[in-house]
């Protein structure tokens, strides 16, 4: 079975550019989570969706970050404009039955 | 609020050594407890879990026991292998509000052949 799929796996961009990260959850999972992982702050929950509806976005750092889930098989996390402090690994996870979550391989973002 | 504290790494051991990674938690209710493992270049994977006091979670030779009296969930393995080299995360979720998992900072484990 395919796990959570994320693209791209690596992204290098310049400060001020728009960045879009993509996630395909495991089929049938109706929860989707976006996390950010840094050395300093560890793993932080940014936002999560249930049945494509955003439930809790209290972890989104600021207005430069936005996330959408237009259908059950696709979600995006967008950063516009990007800043060097956004450099991190971004994980998507999905769940069929809470609290167990299945993580994707992550997108390593570097903002120069 | 709820929190998880785990020992800082890196932890370096020789192959076949005994492993303990300490984890303690603070929670207002009765959380479920987890250990996740992150291999290089991959996402986190659930390693084991326990949902009530005195439960023992086990998987791949790893064990952890839910100790309510000491609010601990230490990870142990009797004989580690080079392939166990990874980052290990202790985590909890509230059993009522189980939509969020609170993760510890992670402990990096290096196993030397």
User: Mind listing the pLDDT tens digit for each residue in A43-99?
Assistant: 999 999 999 999 999 999 889 999 999 999 999 999 999 999 999 999 999 999 988
DSSP for residue B71: T
d(Cα A94, Cα A97) in Å, to the nearest integer? 9
> Which chain B residues have a beta carbon less than 8 Å from that of A4?
43
Which residues, numbered 87 to 106 in chain A, qualify as contacts with chain B under a Cβ-Cβ cut-off of 8 Å?
Answer: 91, 93, 98-106
Q: Is the pLDDT of residue B12 over 70?
A: yes
Q: For residue B82, give the 3-state DSSP assignment.
A: helix
B71: left (phi over 0), alpha (psi -120 to 50) or beta: left
Q: Is the pLDDT of residue A112 over 90?
A: yes
d(Cα A32, Cα B18) in Å, to the nearest integer? 37
Report the residue from B43, B101, B106 with minimal CB separation from A99.
B101
> Which chain B residues have a beta carbon less than 8 Å from that of A108?
none
How far is the CA of B82 from the CAs of A35, B13, B15, B18, B110, in angstroms?
28, 9, 6, 13, 8
pLDDT in tens, B27-83: 988 899 999 999 988 899 999 999 999 999 999 999 999 999 999 999 999 999 999
Burial bucket for residue B67 (CB in 10 Å: 0-12, 13-18, 19+)? middle
Q: What is the pLDDT of residue A22?
A: 98
Burial bucket for residue B68 (CB in 10 Å: 0-12, 13-18, 19+)? exposed
Q: For residue B88, give the 3-state DSSP assignment.
A: strand
Element (H, E) at B1: none
Q: Is the pLDDT of residue B25 over 90?
A: yes
Q: What is the pLDDT of residue B94?
A: 85
Q: What is the pLDDT of residue B26?
A: 94
Q: What is the pLDDT of residue A1?
A: 62
Q: What is the pLDDT of residue B97?
A: 76
d(Cα B26, Cα B46) in Å, to the nearest integer? 21
Q: What are phi and psi of A102, to 5 degrees?
A: -115, 125
Q: Is the pLDDT of residue A19 over 80?
A: yes
Q: How far separated are the first and last CA of chain A, in Å rounded?
A: 36
Report the residue from A42, A56, A93 with minimal CB separation from B106.
A42
Q: What is the pLDDT of residue A62?
A: 84
Q: Is the pLDDT of residue B87 over 80?
A: yes
């Amino acid at each position: 079975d395919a796990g959570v799929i994320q693209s791209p796996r690596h992204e290098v961009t310049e400060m001020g550019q728009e960045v879009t990260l993509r996630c395909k959850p495991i089929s049938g999972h109706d929860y989707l989570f976006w996390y950010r992982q840094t050395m300093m702050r560890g793993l932080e929950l940014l936002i999560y969706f249930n049945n494509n509806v955003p439930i809790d976005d209290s972890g989104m750092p600021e207005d430069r970050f936005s996330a959408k889930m237009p259908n059950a098989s696709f979600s995006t996390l967008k950063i516009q404009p990007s800043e060097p402090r956004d450099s991190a690994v971004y994980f998507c996870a999905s769940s069929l039955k809470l609290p167990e979550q299945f993580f994707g391989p992550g997108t390593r973002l570097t903002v120069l | 609020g709820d929190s998880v504290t785990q020992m800082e790494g890196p932890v370096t051991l020789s192959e076949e050594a005994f492993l303990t990674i300490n984890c303690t938690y603070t929670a207002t209710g009765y959380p479920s407890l987890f250990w996740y493992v992150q291999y290089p270049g991959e996402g986190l994977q659930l390693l084991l879990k326990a949902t009530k006091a005195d439960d023992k979670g086990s998987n791949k030779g790893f064990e952890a026991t839910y100790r309510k009296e000491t609010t601990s969930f230490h990870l142990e393995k009797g004989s580690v292998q080079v392939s166990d080299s990874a980052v290990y995360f202790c985590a909890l979720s509230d059993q009522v509000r189980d939509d969020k998992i609170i993760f510890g900072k992670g402990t990096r484990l290096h196993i030397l052949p």
